[in-house]
Amino acid sequence: MDFKNFKIPFSINPQYSTKVAYFSMEFAIEQVLKIYSGGLGFLAGSHMRSAYNLKQDLIGIGILWKFGYYDQARNHDQTLQPVWTKKMYSFLEDTGIKFQIEIHSAPVWVKVWYLDPEIFNTAPMFFLSTDVPENDHISKTICHRLYDANESTKLAQYILLGKGGARLLDEMNIERDTYHLNEAHGLPAAFHLLKKYNGDLNKVREKLVFTTHTPEEAGNEKHNLKLCYDMSYFSGFSMEEVKCIEGADDDRFNHSLCALKMAKIANGVSKLHGTVSRAMWNKYPGICEIKSITNAQEFKYWADKRLYNAKDENDETVFDYRKKHLKRRLFKIVADQTGNLFNPNIFTIVWARRFAGYKRADMLLHDKERFYRLLNHPQYPVQIIWAGKPYPMDYSAISTFNTLVEESKNHKNMAVLTGYELSLSKSLKQGSDLWLNNPRVPREASGTSGMTAAMNGSVNLSTDDGWIPEFAKHGENSFVVPKVDYLNMSIYEQDNYDLNALYEILENEILPTYYDNINKWRKIQYNSMNDVKDQFNSDRMADEYYKELYTYSGIEL
């Protein structure tokens, strides 16, 4: 293939002829391609698959992480051990393209790899690497670890994604109408464009759209402006010129704020998150409009087809048998990792996602007495599984993970699994009866894991955050902690209220329904599977991005 004059290798649907480049730090495409950490990657991966389904004129640009995020192993006492192993991918094609970009006032070589759409049924994708013989050791390490903890390395990664990705498009003579930044990591692409257009910010705005995933200002990254400048983040523009665009009055550079100033349009990733984002950012003059396009996951990839077939044919026997079969498959993993033998006839709860403080992984354990009562209920037995990857340097989250591991040693019906990636995620969703989601409201921007759980007959029990308000009908397709005035509560009060409500719903509604009224439980599963199938399928999301963001022209330039 001639990558210097690259053409999309399939016929484009005329509805989606706007030419888009999609920049993301991570993509969860397939288990074998370990270039993702969590929700942002799962979302981006589903987006790339849906772009292929709909035959959109879109290409994905990411980074080829040499060691991935990390491999989640165990120490001798079962506690968490991060391991970094070099990854090999024979299915990626060497484009033969190499070019230099400036990072920290020095030239750095970038090599480009290609993922053909037919391999995993995705949009065409290009991955950037600095791990080439021409670079010195420091430059090689830029693409080693996803979300490296070192601040300078992290900024260099953003420059590689943004400036490197934009430069790649120039090298390949690919003209794109829209540059879509999935989070602000790729923002250096905007400064590359600004330089290309001789400082004409309006021309940049015509091309740039931005998706924000972070529902609180403190969570949006800020770095020392001088450090960003010294790292060559701004493609030669002075700190004064950058501050004039970004507009905050301190010596730190706010990546998301600057993206909102340079984009023509942005979006939050659920209706609630859009509302939260507008309230959060509207105090700054000159930001673009923030819409809502709710995240979704690709139905074809995630949903268990046989379960849906049994539901559609209303064959209760086959449906129940299939669900038990999926549970047995998951329980082989549980047995292999922990030595616990779980029973497919017992109600199984799963909490699985990235370990972060606000997601409150260990919430059920905050009331130990009630937790033990739940685990040892004589009438309504339960099994509980936890899984998820903390950031390798987030010692608080790692401590939570390890505390759960230690507690699990006391219970034959409690397990903590390692290796939470696409494959284990799918097994957990297929093999669980209840998907537990208890973030502190309103900290969860979207939270897509419950969507893919619902696609596999796993019923959501959640606090009323992220995508849940758009989906949940309590007692009909899911179970939801009633929202209260959290803003006037302390964190301690909020946690106590949510904890008590979760236990009340579990003890008084969910478990009696599952064990005493299986027909009602199955109806809730059916409703959940029906309600998630279209509205939270990423084909809908990819369509909305084209209609509401990529072809947007409602701003006066």
> Does a structural domain hold residue 266?
yes
The tokens 């070192």 sit on which residue? 150
255 close to 222: Cβ distance less than 8 angstroms: yes
Residue 252, number of CB atoms within 10 A of its CB: 15
Q: Compute the average pLDDT of residues 106-114.
A: 98
Say whether both 88 and 67 belong to one domain: yes
**Residue 557 pLDDT > 60:** no
Say whether both 394 and 340 belong to one domain: yes
Say whether both 254 and 319 belong to one domain: no
Q: Compute the average pLDDT of residues 537-544.
A: 98
Phi, psi of 267 (to 5 degrees): -145, 145
Mean pLDDT across the chain, nearest whole number?
Answer: 97
The tokens 């230099």 sit on which residue? 100
Distances (CA, A) of 537 to 296, 304, 306, 352: 5, 14, 18, 20
Say whether both 288 and 355 belong to one domain: no
Say whether both 220 and 257 belong to one domain: yes
Say whether both 282 and 304 belong to one domain: no
Residue 338 CA to residue 412 CA, distance in Å, equals 9
Total domains in the chain come to: 2
Token pair in block for residue 417: 């699994």
Find all residues with CB under 8 Å of 499, minimum gap 6, and list them: 363, 364, 366, 367
Measured N-to-C along each axis, helices 188-196 and 255-262 cross at an angle, to the nearest 10 degrees, of: 40
Token pair in block for residue 245: 């665009």
Say whether both 391 and 530 belong to one domain: yes
Residue 368 CA to residue 376 CA, distance in Å, equals 12
- Total-model pTM: 0.97
Tens of pLDDT, residues 194-248:
999 999 999 999 999 999 998 888 788 999 999 999 999 999 999 999 999 999 8
Residue 364 CA to residue 60 CA, distance in Å, equals 39
Alpha carbon 172 to chain centroid, angstroms: 29
pLDDT value at residue 47: 98
Tens of pLDDT, residues 438-453:
999 999 999 999 999 9
Residue 374 CA to residue 369 CA, distance in Å, equals 9
Residue 442 CA to residue 162 CA, distance in Å, equals 30
Say whether both 450 and 545 belong to one domain: no
> Does a structural domain hold residue 4?
no
> Does a structural domain hold residue 471?
yes
- Band of residue 554 on the pLDDT scale cut at 50, 70, 90: low
**Residue 547 pLDDT > 50:** yes
DSSP string, 477-542: TEEEEPP--GGGS-HHHHHHHHHHHHHHHIIIIIHHHHHH-HHHHHHHHHHHHHHHHTTTBHHHHH
> Does a structural domain hold residue 3?
no
Burial degree of 379 (CB within 10 A; 0-12, 13-18, 19+): exposed
Say whether both 219 and 320 belong to one domain: no
Say whether both 362 and 430 belong to one domain: yes
Residue (of 273, 291, 274) closest to 442 by Cα position = 273
Residue 469 CA to residue 289 CA, distance in Å, equals 23
Residue (of 349, 356, 354) closest to 334 by Cα position = 349
Say whether both 196 and 310 belong to one domain: no
With helix as H, strand as E and coil as C, how does 106-163 read? EEEEEEEEEECHHHHCCCCEEEEECCCCCCCHHHHHHHCCCCCCCHHHHHHHHHHHHH
What range does the domain containing 375 cover?
Answer: 299-536
Tens of pLDDT, residues 365-403:
999 999 999 999 999 999 999 999 999 999 999 999 999
Q: Compute the average pLDDT of residues 481-506.
A: 97
Say whether both 26 and 70 belong to one domain: yes
**CATH number assigned to the domain comprising residue 205:** 3.40.50.2000
